[in-house]
Amino acid sequence: MRRGGSTLTYLGVFLFAGSPKRAHFQPILDKIFNNFENWKGMSLSMAGRVSLVNSVIMGQLSYSFQVHRWPISLLKDLISTIQNFLWSGSIKDSKPVIVSWWMCCKPKQEGGLGLRDPRFLNLALLKKLSWSLLTDDSFVYKFLRGRFFSTGFTVRRFWKSSIWSGLKSLIQPIIDESIWAPGINSKVRFWTDNWLGSPLVAVIDFDVSLEPPLDSVIGDVSTNAVWSLPISFINSFPHLAEEIRKVVFCDKDTFIWRHSSSSRITCAEAYLSLAGPFTKERWGDKFWASFIPPSRSIFF
């Protein structure tokens, strides 16, 4: 742990209470701006500048991005600085930009430069951290769940935390984009968790006198991966009961993010869900034509 000026750092991460402010990240920005100044006189090509931004600048940002949500005004200033460097080679000289930032951030195979937008990269990394907070069973995440949540994924109360301020707005969207795959003796809540496409309380006209109660879990209405739904439920909702019987149990409760091929959130898939989807350009149609010799087509 090291104290630098008025900011305390631990393993390279700035520690402070409350919402992140510009001053908390100024040391990181100073290092980035110094890099830009050092590269100014190197006569770099556009491809070289793009490569440096992607490999060096984004690398310097990603460590902090994994922990804190940066102020949006700060990210916009950073993007403006990157644009100046890309088009003029200097962060202090600006030239007319004829290609939009959104276009620059598209993948190369889709017509862009393959840059990553710092705004979406920050959110993608925090979304991955939020997923770990919701699903990881290691000690640190169990501790944080006990601190921030009361029952299930219900937020306990307000916390003056520099990390939680960036995660709290991502928790509910992740829950809405995910579904439970119940396991044997499941602890997934029968009525209020989403394990059938939507929570049961959202798809039926719920009767408070109907059993089981709202806090019951799937394990209360199943035994060894075999459903044992109450007769009152079957009689009241026969079609829904039939759909429930089709649900196959897993070995253990599994939370699945529906936008992922691996069921969990990765940074790459989170970034694509935030920044995309992108439309592939048919570049061949722009340069080649059957009536023009290929050796001449590029000049038209």
Residue 242 neighbours by CB distance under 10 Å: 10
How does DSSP classify residue 118? H
What is the residue extent of each domain of the chain? 2-123, 180-245
**Residue 299: what pLDDT?**
45
**Residue 188: what pLDDT?**
94
**Residue 144: what pLDDT?**
86
pTM reported for the whole predicted model = 0.82
How confident is the chain (300 residues) per 10-residue block, as mean pLDDT? 56 74 89 92 88 94 92 94 91 82 88 92 96 92 84 67 86 93 93 91 71 79 92 91 94 92 91 80 57 53
**Residue 148: what pLDDT?**
82
Between strands 178-181 and 222-223, the pairing is unpaired
pLDDT digits (tens, 9 = 90+) for 152-162: 676 666 667 88
| Cβ atoms of 171 and 145 closer than 8 Å | no
How crowded is the C-beta side of 257, counted as CA atoms within 13 Å?
23
Q: How far apart are CA 281 and CA 60, in angstroms?
A: 31
**Residue 276: what pLDDT?**
77
**Residue 111: what pLDDT?**
82
Q: Which helix (H) or strand (E) holds 226?
A: strand 226-227
Q: How far apart are CA 261 and CA 247, in angstroms?
A: 20
- Coarse DSSP helix, strand, coil percentages of the chain, rounded to the nearest 5 percent: 50, 10, 40
**Residue 99: what pLDDT?**
85
| Cβ atoms of 68 and 17 closer than 8 Å | no
**Residue 94: what pLDDT?**
78
Q: How far apart are CA 218 and CA 139, in angstroms?
A: 26
Q: How far apart are CA 50 and CA 43, in angstroms?
A: 13
